[in-house]
Structures are given as C-alpha cells and as structure tokens.
Chains A and B, each alone.
Chain A
Amino acid sequence: MSATLHTATLDIDVSLTRGAFSLDVAFTAGPGLTALFGRSGSGKTTVIDLIAGLARPDRGRIAVAGETLLDTERGIAVPAHRRRIGVVFQQARLMPHLSVRRNLGYGRAFARGRSDGIAFDGVVDLLGIGHLLERRPAGLSGGEAQRVAIGRALLSRPRLLLMDEPLAALDEARKAEVLPYIERLRDEAGLPIVYVSHSVSEVARLARTVVVLDAGRVAAVGAADTVLRRADLLATQEAEAGAILDMIVEETDSETGLTRLSGRAGRLSVPRLTRRPGTAVRIRVPARDVLLATQPPVGLSARNILEGHVVSIHALGEAASMVEIDCNGALLAARVTRASVRDLALAPGRAVYAVVKSVAFDPQGVGTARPEAVEI
C-alpha cells in the first residue's frame, strides 16, 4: 500500500441486477458530507439500502472506516443491526407506539456500552426538539418528525450517517426549517454523511463531494462546485444545471432591500439576506438564468453583470447550448440557444458579459459555506 492511501470513510464497489434494472457502482467517500445525486430511478436509494445492509448486492464489497461490512467473495455480510450505520429515511419512520423521547432512546438502548458519541441533551439541543419529547409521532409536523428521526439516528452512535432524501417529503417551508439543522450536523457533529438528493439546490448547499448516479452507474465524482457546473452531465438530469459561487456578504441596502455579495467572479446583488457582513455564503446560479452579451449591456433591468471569457460550448439537444464562462477564475454556466451561439460568434476565448438575473437567486440555494471554501 502506498503511503498516500488513507482509509476512506466509505468504500463501495457493488453490482446487482433486479429485473430490467442493473446497478454497478463504485466510489469512495471521505469525511464531511458526500451527496449522491441523480434523478429518481438512478439507483440512489438502492445504494443506501446496500450500505445500510437492508439489501444484498449480487456481487461486491462495502467497507466503512476500514471495516469490511460486505464481501461477496469472502462470504462476509454483516447484518444491518451490527453495521453501526444510521439511516434517515425519506419518511421519518418513527415508531408510532413510542413517544418522541422513547423514539430517540430506541437506538441508544442498543448502542449502550459505546462510550463515543453525543449526549442525549446535546442532540436534543442541536435539533431543537426539546419541546416535543413527550409527544407522539402522530402529533408531529413533517419537519418535526424528520428532526426527531435525525436525532434518533445520531443517538444510535453510528460511524456513518445515511440520509435518503430526508427533505423530499416536506414542503418548502418545512425544508427551510430542517436544512439549517443538517448544516449544523455536518459542521458540528463531525459525523461523515452520505446524503441522497435529486435537488441541485440542496446538494449545492450541503455537499463537499458529489457522486452523480445515472441509470445505475456513477456518471461523475468530484468536488461539488466542479460537478454541479458540468453541464453535459447535468443535462441528463431532471434537475437544472447551474454554477456554484462562493461569496462574502458585503452589505444590505435597506432602501432597495438588496444584499451585495462579492467574490472572485465580481459583485452580485441578491434579495435581502439576513446575514452579517463578512459571512461566507455559497450561491447557485442556474444556467437558464444567465444571459450572454458580447458588449457591455446598457439599458437593462437586470443588475448583475459579470465579465469573463468563454471556456467551452456543449450542445444540449437540437436547439440549446451550454456555455461555460470563466469569470476571473470562477466558473459560470449559461444555457443559450444555438442560434445565439452562432449570431454572437461565441467560441472558446471570446470575451463575454454574463447577465445574471437577480431573481435567479433562490433563497433555498443560499447556504452557509464552510469558511475554508472561500479562503482559496
């Protein structure tokens, strides 16, 4: 073994065939939050079930923190209850016959004797569920139930947490309620997380590493900003392609209600952000909300114009193209018609002005980035 190799948090290489669906997936995940991203039917949930031990592959190997949990060749298959892998499902799956307190204590009872892990009160505080302890799951809102489910998984003292579209069953308001807790989990609990989602905004906000699944295969693996910008990959996804920009909050103009952000790409104004100046934020710019001009635009209602040059152009179907623009080292993607590419004579190296519509900033996509992400 070379000295540069280190033990990955999760190392998986599995394949299975179920009827018309076949899965053949291999990747490794390190510490922090790794997103499994792909459209429904791409095999994300199957991968989660395989890691958790709720399903068996036809062939393969799974190791977590260096311990082999499954190896079909060596005949190893650790059952789910001995894997120490917490799972937060799409539906909370709380025990309906137990109170919230006893639901939280459920996994804890089986983890007795393990000294590591977080204390009950700490988890309750982290998730803000102290006022729910004596309630029954039937009386909880979707967001509350999901927070309890997260707490329950944490208290079972897992060494890896799997989250299978934990927000998919929630409406936008409930999502906004739960997301900050997942961010706190990522930043404060120090627990490696594999997070399944088909939402670009969630992945952009939460993930450090992204694994893109398509039709049971790994289509791409890499850092979140790189992978999400890869238009050719994302064009095959239901979700919209877009660019991720790491920026700093400058100031909010109380008259216009706009908050100014600055970053490597330049300055952008977004609808009022209730964050202190100096805070690092990560924003997402959907490719369809970026217009291109070859001259400085004048008399335009859009306020955000970034200068850059074309890096590459990919065809998207018959009529559209995805143009990658380098804005002072930050990469942006624009979805334009092929006719525009021809008329503007767009080609790699061509200087362009990217017009970003203010409305393109989705508050759901504005998340707190880890500080080190902007220090580069």
Chain B
Amino acid sequence: MLDLTPDEWTAIGLSLKVASVATLASLVPGLFIAMLLARGRFPGRALLDGLVHLPLILPPVVTGYLLLLSFGRRGTFGAALAEIGIVFSFRWTGAALACAIMGFPLMVRAMRLSIEAVDRRLEQAAATLGARPSAVFLTVTLPLAMPGILAGSVLAFAKAMGEFGATITFVSNIPGETQTLPSAIYSLTQVPGGEAGALRLTLISVALSMAALLVSELLARRLARRLGTG
C-alpha cells in the first residue's frame, strides 16, 4: 500500500519543509501581532485585526493572486526583494509564504486568546517583585500563554500542510519545487490511473494531520500539568 513513487516522496518532503518553514517563520511576527491585538490600545487596531483575518475569509485563489501581484517577479515587493536575492515566485519559498499567510489568522487568533487569558494581576505582582516589562513578558506572560502559542502553531502547521488554493495560484504546481502534498493529489486526480497514488497520498495526509494534532494534545496536557491547571 505504501509503495510510494519518488515523486510522491518528494511531495511529502516538500510539504513538510514548506509547512515547517511557514510555521517557524510566522512564530515571532504572530506573537508580536497577537500581543498588539491583545494588549495594544492604538488607532487602527480594528483595521489590523481585519487585515490579519482577511486570508480566512477571502477565497484562497484571491489571496494567491494578490500574492502574485505583490510578491511576483514584477510585483510591488517582489521586484525589490529580487534585487537583494529573495525570490518567491515559482519557488518553494513562495509556497511557504502562501502557507504562512493562510495560517497566520489561525495562529494569531489562538495566541491572542491565550494572551488575553493571562491574569494581568500576576504580571503586576511580577513588576512589584522587580521584574522589568521584558522580564515580565518572558517569565510570566509567555509561559502562561504557552498552551495557546502551541495550539496556534499546530493549527498553522496543519493549515500549511493542507493549503492548496493560494499556493497553486501563486507558485503553480511544479514537481520538486512547489508541488506540495495537496497539489500532488490534485495532479494525480487529473491523470488517468492516478487514483491509487491520490488515495495513498490522501492517507498520508490524514496520518500527518492526525499526528500533528496528537502531538499538540500531548504537549498541551503536559503544559497544563506544569501550570497546575490540569
């Protein structure tokens, strides 16, 4: 059953790489935006909130097209970035960018909720004990928000593993470069005799998603025990 062709292995490996890079690269900006939305009081906060959530509501193909317009070779940012050697269009890095953008609202949402749930009175207590704001963030806010940060990361990773519309619109479907698991499944369903391969990759896809959820559940439980809430 699991006699995978080299192309299929490539697609799996690429998907894992793209999803990992997308998730890791989103972590710091995600946390920053989540802090801003949870704690910040500034004009334009609602606008920022809307912008972050946009990819969740827009048709993925629209997001992908917008990415193409802005980060494509002749795009607004794409041309400038190409000057310094960063190219997204039709590269796996573009797939990672598309996946990151699509997973971003899920990640920020989970992080923001967990930051909002952190008891500010604990942070005040830390301040009276001599902790400066950065120390309060690192020793109180971050550890207490960790379950949400973890959940957000897993969600973003799972989303990245399954992202299809924006990716294929932005960076197409090039085997070995931008052909992720969903794209590979799509391609296999388009050719005669591809059903077996499509089914194999579908099962792999299900297994990977389940594994991600399982790992996150286990980690969350361990964290809850450590926080004394489990």
Q: Which residues of A contact B (CB under 8 A)?
A: 52-54, 79-87, 89, 91, 93, 95-97, 106-107, 110-111, 136-139, 152-153, 156
Contacts and interface: CB of A to CB of B under 8 A. Distances in A.
B129 to A, nearest CB: 3
B131 interface: yes
5 closest residue pairs by CB, A with B: A138-B228, A110-B130, A107-B129, A93-B125, A80-B127
28 contacts: A52-B128, A79-B127, A80-B127, A81-B127, A81-B128, A81-B132, A81-B136, A82-B130, A84-B130, A86-B129, A87-B128, A89-B125, A91-B121, A93-B119, A93-B124, A95-B126, A95-B139, A95-B140, A96-B227, A97-B227, A106-B126, A106-B129, A106-B139, A111-B130, A136-B228, A137-B228, A153-B128, A156-B130
A250 B124 CA distance: 48
A106 B143 CA distance: 14
A95 B144 CA distance: 9
B229 interface: yes
A152 B135 CA distance: 17
Given A97-B143, A137-B228, A85 B129 contact: no
B61 to A, nearest CB: 43
Contacts of A138: 228-229
Nearest to A139: B228
Interface size range of chain B in the complex: 20 to 34
Contacts of A91: 121
Given A84-B130, A93-B119, 13 more contacts: A80-B128, A81-B132, A81-B133, A86-B128, A89-B125, A95-B139, A96-B122, A96-B227, A97-B143, A97-B227, A97-B228, A111-B130, A156-B128
Contact of B228 (A79, A81, A96): A96
What is the interface of chain B mostly: helix, strand, loop, or mixed?
A: helix
Contacts of A136: 228
Contacts of B226: 97
Interface of B: 119, 121-122, 124-133, 135-136, 139-140, 143-144, 226-229
B140 to A, nearest CB: 6
Nearest to B135: A110
A87 B125 contact: yes
A52 B129 CA distance: 10
A14 B119 CA distance: 28
Nearest to B125: A93
Most-contacted residue by chain A among B119, B131, B226 (CB, 10 A): B131
A107 B135 CA distance: 11
